[in-house]
Structure 1
Amino acid sequence: KSTEGEERQALSIESQKDKVKEIHPDLDIIDILEEKHSAFKPYNRPVFDDMIKRIESGEARGIIAWHPDRLSRNEIDASTITYLVRTNVIHDLKFGSYNFDNSPEGIMMLQLALSQSQYFSSKLGKDVKRGLEKKVSMGWLPGVAPEGYLNNMQLDKGQKTISVDKKRSILLRKAFDLILSGSYTPPEALNILNKEWHYTTVKRRKVGGNELGRSTWYKMLSNPFYAGIIVFNGKEYKGKHKPLITLTEYNLIQELLGSRGCKRKPEKHDFAYSGMFKCGQCGCSITAENKSKYLQKSKKVKKYTYYHCTHKKDNCRQGVVEQIDITNKTIKTLNSIEIHPLLLTWALEYLDSQKGKENKEAKQVENNALDKIKRLETELSSLTRMRAKELIGDDEYIKERLTLTREIEAIKQQGNNKPSHEEMIKITKDNFIETTLAKQKFITGSFRDKKDVLSFIGSNRQIINKTVVIKLKKWLIPIAKFMSQYGAEIARFEPNIIGLDYRKNEALTSLRLTWLRRQDSNLRHRD
C-alpha cells in the first residue's frame, strides 16, 4: 500500500496487513512491501520495480494487495503485471477487496480494473486541479497557509480561508522592517527574530515548533503572498488575505536581495553597450550586470549598471566600469569630432563641386593598373608560345602560368572592389552628415542608436584599468585634429556670420581653405 496521502485511505497500512492475513491465512508471505510513491506515474516506484525483479528471479510466485489500484494506476505498470500473469511468471494475484481468477477472462477483468483505476486517478487529478484554480480565483491560497498565517479549519471543505497569525505576524512584520531599513542583512534579521525575539514556527503534526530556518526565511522574503499576491501555476492572482507588507515594500526587498530576490515577471536585460567593448588585457568580451544599493538617507534604492570582463581567460584581473563612465567617454570623443554646421556646409559644397571631376591621381592609378594587366597578359602569351616551341617544360609552364594568372586576377579584383569617384563622393558626404549628427543621436537615441554611433566612430573599443578607450577610425582622425586646432577660432565667428568685418572675413576665408584641403585629402585617402 502506498503511504502517500494516508488520511484519504479507507484502511491504514496496519489494518490492511491484518485484513490480508485474515483472508489468506494459509499463504506463505515472504515479505511485506510499502511503496511511498504514487502508483499514478510509471518509472517512479523503486519498491515496485524491485518487487518485479524478485518475482522474475523466482523468489516469489504471486502478489497480495488490498486492491488492483495499489499495484498500478498507469498503463505501463498495468501491462507489466498482466503480461507476467499471462506468461505464468506471476502464478497468482490475491486481493483483499477484489476477486481475481487466473484465466483469460480473469486477466481481462483485471485489465479493466486497472484501466478503471487509471481513469479514476486521472479524472480525480483534473477535478482537484479545477477546484484549486477555482479557489485561487476566489482569492484564497489552496493548501497549508504560509508562515505568519493560519488556515481556518472550522469552515467546510472548499470554503476554508486564511487569516493572519496574530502571535507571529507582529514579529514577522518587525523582521521585514529590519530588512527594509537597509541596516540589516537577511541573516542578521533572522538571527534577531530567532534569538532575541524567540520566534517559533507553527507546530504541526510532524513538523514545526522550532526556530525559523534560513531557507524558509529567504523563501518568505521573496514570496509575493506577504504583499497580497497569490502565484499559482505561473499566474498572479489578487489574494483576499491581509498582507503583512505593501507591494512597494515587497519590490524594495527584492531589490535589496539582488539575485536571491523573486523576479515576478521574466526580466530581459538590454544593456546600452553590450557587445561593443573588449577587455584591453585578455581580449575577452565585456559583459554587463545591474546592481542595486539602498540609500538609507533618502530611503531609496539606486540602480547601477556595471561593465566588466567575462574573465574567460586565466590571469585577467580587470575591474568594473560604470555605465556612466562609458557614456561620458563616448560623449567626450564625439565632442572632439563634432563638425560645426558651417564646416559641414563648406564640405558638402566642395564635394558637390567635385562631381564629374575625376581625380588625376586616381585616374593615374587606374591607368597604371590597366597597363600592368596588359603587360602581364603579354608575358602570358609569350609563355604559351615558348611552351608550344618546347623551349620550357610542362612543370615550369604550369608554375609560371599560374603565377601570372593569379596576379592579373588580383589586380582586376582590386579595381572592382574600389568605389568609383562618384560613389566615393556620396560615401564621404553621408559620413560627414552622420558625424555631425552623431552626438545628438547618441544622447537622445535608443540603445541600438548608441551602439550604431560607437560602431561608426571607433574601430577598436576597449576597457582596461577601469578606463574606456575608443580608437577613432582613420578618416576621423584629421577631423579631430582640425577641430582641436581650429575649434576655438570657429567659435569667434558665431553667432552671426553675415556682416563680418574685413579682418574676420579674411580669417574665415583662410579657415575655409584649410578645412577644404583636409576634406580633399579625406576624399582621396579615406580608410
Structure 2
Amino acid sequence: MKPIRPGSDRLIRAVIYVRISQDRTGAHLGVDRQMEDCKALAASRGWDVVETYIDNDISAYSGKKRPDYRRMLDDLEQGTATVVIAWHTDRLHRSPTELEEYIDLSQRRGVDTHTVQAGDLDLSTSSGRMTARIHGAVARHESEHKAERVARSRLQKAQAGKWGGGIRPFGWGLPTGETRKKVDRATGEEVEVPVLDMDQLVPEEAEAVRVGIDMLLSGGTIKGWCRWLADKGLTTTRGNLVGHVEARDMLMRARNAGIAVYRGEEIGPGNWAAIVPEEKHRAVVAVLMDPNRRTTPGAQPKWLGSLLYRCGRGDCTETVYVTQSGGRRYPSYRCKTAHGGGRQAAKVDEYVQDTVIARLSREDAVDLLLPGPSDVNVAALQVESEQIRRRLTDLAALFGSGQIDMNQFTEGSDVARAQLDGVTQQMARAAVKDPLVKLVGAKNVGKAWHALPLEEKRGVLRTLVTVTLTPPRLGPMPDGGRFDYEAVKFVWLRGMEARS
C-alpha cells in the first residue's frame, strides 16, 4: 500500500515538471536526466506521480509560452495534485511575474514544491516565499548575465568580421578536412562530423545565389529562382526545399557582399569571401524593398503572353489569358472580357518567339540595348557609402558620450541617412541589368532565348515589344494554312521601329 500524508486518509498525489532551455541535438537528453532524478525523489518519498509535464527547448527567461507549464497550473487549480517535483527551482521559473503567480496558486490550493537540487520550498510561510524569491532573483541574474556575455561575444565577433555561429549560411562552409564530435539527433549517440570553414564559399551554392540575384535584376521573380533551385536539387542547409521566405532572406543578406551585421545594423566588412560585389547587393535589396513590387501575385502565368498580349478586337485594350475552351488539346488566348473567339496559344507563342528571336539576331540588335551606367563610378560610390556609415557611427559615439544633444544627433543622422539612401539608389541603378543583355550578341540567339526561364522571357517582351491579337481573317490563308499570322501585330518599344 502506498504511503499517505500524515493526518490524512488519502494518497499524496504528485506531478513532475521538467524543462531544458536549449536542446540543439533534439535528443531530449537533458529532460530525460531530469525525469530520472525527479522520479527517484518521488519514489523515495512514497508519492504517487499522476502526471508529468515536459517543455523541451523552451527558455523560461525568454518569455515564450510554455505549453506544458500552463497545463500544469490549470491542473493544479483543479486539484490534480498537492506536490510539484522539479529538478531545480530555475526549471520552474526565471521570471518574477511567473513566480508570484505560482506562489499565489500554491497558497490557495495547498501545493508543496520539492526539488532534487534545491531542496523543499514551503510557500505557505513568509520565509519559504522569501527563499523562493531569492532563488528566482539569482536565476534571473544568471540568465541576464549569460545573455550579456553571449551578446558581447557576438558583437566582438561581428566587429572582427567573424561568423557569429548558428545555422550554416547557404553559400559558405567548405570542409576543412578535420572532424569534431556531435550528438546525433536521431540516436543520441556521439558521431564524427566535418569541421567547416565558414569564411570559404561552397562553389555550387555561391553560384546559385549569383544566379538568383541576376534573375531578380533582370526582371525575374523569387518564385522562379525557387523553381530553379528545386530543378538543380539545391536545398537549404537544413535539407529543406527553399521557399519564398528563405529565398528572399538569402538574396537580401548583407553577408553576400562581405558585409558584417549585428542586430540588423551593418557594422563593417567581414573576413569571409563575398559572393557578389556591394553594388549588386544594394541593387537587389532595392528591388525587393520596392513598395510598388507585388509580393503576392497569386498564380504565376504558364504561358508566354498571359496578361501581356493585348486584345485588338474593336476598341478593346484588355489583355488576354489562356483558357481550355478550345478543348484540352488546343488551349486558347481569350480576352479577359470574354468576347470574341480565341487564338491557339501554342501557335501564337511560337510565332511571337520566332519574331523576337529574328529581331534580336539582326546586326543592329545592339542598338536596342539601353545605355549602360558608364557615367556611374561605382568604386567612388562605395567609398562615399562607407564614409557616410562611419559618420553615422561617429554621431552615435558623440551622443553616447554627451558631446552632442539629441537634437544634434537626430539632425545629423537624418542628413546622413538621406545621403546614404541617394548613394544606395545610384549603386542599385548601376547594377540593374537590361533584360536584353543575355540575348543581344549571343552566338545563337534562339538557343539563348529558349534557355531563359519563362519569367525572364516575359520580362524581355515587356521591355521590347507590345503584341496585339486582332481578329483573324476567315477561311484558308495565302500559305494554305489556317493560322492568320497578320492578325498578330507587333509594336516595337525600342530601336528604329519604335521611332518610325
Q: Taking structure 2 as the reference length, what is the TM-score of the superposition?
A: 0.47
Q: Which has the larger radius of gyration?
A: 1
Structure showing greater relative contact order (alpha-carbon pairs closer than 8 Å, 6 or more residues apart): 2
Question: As a proportion of its length, which structure holds more helix?
Answer: 1
Question: As a proportion of its length, which structure holds more strand?
Answer: 2
Q: Taking structure 1 as the reference length, what is the TM-score of the superposition?
A: 0.44
